[in-house]
Amino acid sequence: MSLETVADCSDLLIFDDILPTGFSPFRTLEYGHYLSFFNAKLVSTEGWHGWTSNQTFAAALDELTLDPDLKNRIVPFSAAATARGRLAYVSFLANAAALMPYFEARQLPFIFQLYPGGGFLIDQPESDKELRRVVLSDYCRKVIVTQRLSYDYLIDRIGCDPAKVELIFGGVFESRLDFDFNRDKKTFGRDKFTLDLCFVAHKYGNNLLSKGYDQFVGIAAALAQHDPRLRFHVVGDYSAADIALGDAEEKFTFYGRQESRFFTDFYPSMDAIISVNRPSALAPGAFDGFPTGACIEAGFHGVLNCINDPLALNPVLMPGEDFLLLNFDQEQSVTRLRQLLECPEELYRLAYANWRKFRTVFATDDQLWARTRLIASELLRRDGDETPASGRMSACEADGHPSERGDVSRWVELEQERKRLVTAYRELEGHYLAAEGERMRLEQYIRAMEGVS
């Protein structure tokens, strides 16, 4: 290998199938952070064609809302044949399983983020087989899971070493918004004369059950009979032709699939988001995380979450205090919602509590910090004489190691780069701890002021 090729080696190679399209904002936020902090590249496997079949890589990259310097680090998989990295990062089981030959051929260690969906199916032999191949691989350094169910499943069913698994509840969504509930929330009687309920979800094929669209329509039809104030809003690939809406049809608005910037103006006018999802409806063993990404984003904009939890995934939120809990008993859900809607003051009190809780539990800085710390720790595992967790060096590391090359000057460069990463990591740690202290002081002040009022 030439010195030029080694010089192009990145600390971190991020692999993703959806970017550079803008239909998955959590990817842009999380991976954009890694691109800005680490010496990193993002390799796109260009799997978005089911969403925007006619869009080219160049056109999608041009439209992506990301700093131009960071966009220059996003490359198609066809350009990754000679890409070199010390560590890889990949989310979703289907993506990781497809990349295993690539990782194995290049002896590339990786961190795997196991989100619900993306080929991860509970109690399904083929999914279990793929999961074992990924997480039990010598090249798999760490596994990030976002739900307790996933954590327990990896250990109890798949046989993964608990030391390898990191539970970080929730996902990376933007909580650092220019939105204040008291200032920006549009409320009934003050800013508008309607009560607005929304449903926001991707539609997979012709499936109307997995995300609970049928439940939303049934609830809306029942509520609309007795409350002329109500309006219903649907974002995603759904239409009035999917399910007969009856007399409620004139109160429905369909927006189609939307990119993240649409919701900046949309959510502040919404009073509640309804999500009654069904495990195994899309495929046997398929399930959604709690709450769904759309519900988290809505909560950050002051929209009350009216959601179900069929798999008991909720570890911290209090029903009736932080959100409204629904279930598959549609009549019971209608009753709970009707009681709440009859008293807008209580609706907005609960929505405010929901907003406050979500900003704490799903704070962007906390989510990014937990993941960044894990990645940095793996990149720094070769401090002193310590070997990587897999017991092997990546090809990139080996190519730069003096025992493999006798190129002392190049090794000095790599060591300097390692020290730069240590310095940057410690600086980030200091900024995070300072911000966390300031946030805690602000929360204490707000609680004290609420007690006075």
Q: From the CB of residue 210, how many other CB atoms can be counted at a distance below 10 Å?
A: 23
Q: In terms of pLDDT, which residue wins out, 158 or 385?
A: 158
What DSSP element (H or E) covers 140? Answer: strand 140-145
Q: Class of the 3-173+363-439 domain?
A: alpha beta
Asked if residue 14 lies in contact with residue 42, where contact means CB atoms within 8 angstroms, the answer is: yes
What is the structure's pLDDT at 451? Answer: 63
Using a pLDDT cut of 90, give the percent of the chain over it.
65
Asked if residue 350 lies in contact with residue 337, where contact means CB atoms within 8 angstroms, the answer is: no
Band (404; pLDDT cuts 50, 70, 90):
very low
Band (415; pLDDT cuts 50, 70, 90):
low
Between CA 254 and CA 92, with CA 292 as vertex, the angle to 5 degrees is 115
Over residues 242-262, mean pLDDT: 93
- Protein fold of 181-359: Rossmann fold (3.40.50)
Over residues 59-66, mean pLDDT: 76
Q: For the residues of 72-95, what is the DSSP string, one character each?
A: TTEEEGGG-TT--EEEEEEESHHH
What is the structure's pLDDT at 79? Answer: 75
Q: Of 157-171, 314-328, 427-441, which range is least confident?
A: 427-441
Going by their DSSP bridges, the two strands 10-16 and 230-235 should be labelled as: unpaired
What is the structure's pLDDT at 222? Answer: 96
SS3 351: helix
Say yes or no to pLDDT of 5 above 50. no
Asked if residue 39 lies in contact with residue 76, where contact means CB atoms within 8 angstroms, the answer is: no
Over residues 437-449, mean pLDDT: 67
Domain boundaries, the chain: 3-173+363-439, 181-359
SS3 166: strand
Say yes or no to pLDDT of 391 above 90. no
Mean of pLDDT over the chain: 85
Q: From the CB of residue 392, how many other CB atoms can be counted at a distance below 10 Å?
A: 14
Q: In terms of pLDDT, which residue wins out, 320 or 410?
A: 320
> For 293-313, how does the pLDDT look when each residue is reduced to its tens digit (9 = 90+)?
999 999 999 999 999 999 999
Over residues 151-158, mean pLDDT: 97
Over residues 440-452, mean pLDDT: 66
Say yes or no to pLDDT of 324 above 90. yes
Q: Same CATH topology for 3-173+363-439 and 181-359?
A: yes
> For 75-121, how does the pLDDT look when each residue is reduced to its tens digit (9 = 90+)?
888 876 677 889 999 999 999 999 999 999 999 999 999 999 999 99
What is the structure's pLDDT at 402? Answer: 41
Asked if residue 79 lies in contact with residue 104, where contact means CB atoms within 8 angstroms, the answer is: no
> For 334-385, how does the pLDDT look when each residue is reduced to its tens digit (9 = 90+)?
999 999 999 999 999 999 999 999 999 999 999 999 999 999 999 987 543 3
Considering only CA atoms, which of 200, 150, 209 is closest in space to residue 173? 200
What is the structure's pLDDT at 28? Answer: 85
Say yes or no to pLDDT of 240 above 90. yes
Say yes or no to pLDDT of 58 above 80. no
Band (229; pLDDT cuts 50, 70, 90):
very high
Q: Of 57-61, 234-238, 349-353, which range is least confident?
A: 57-61
What is the structure's pLDDT at 380? Answer: 85
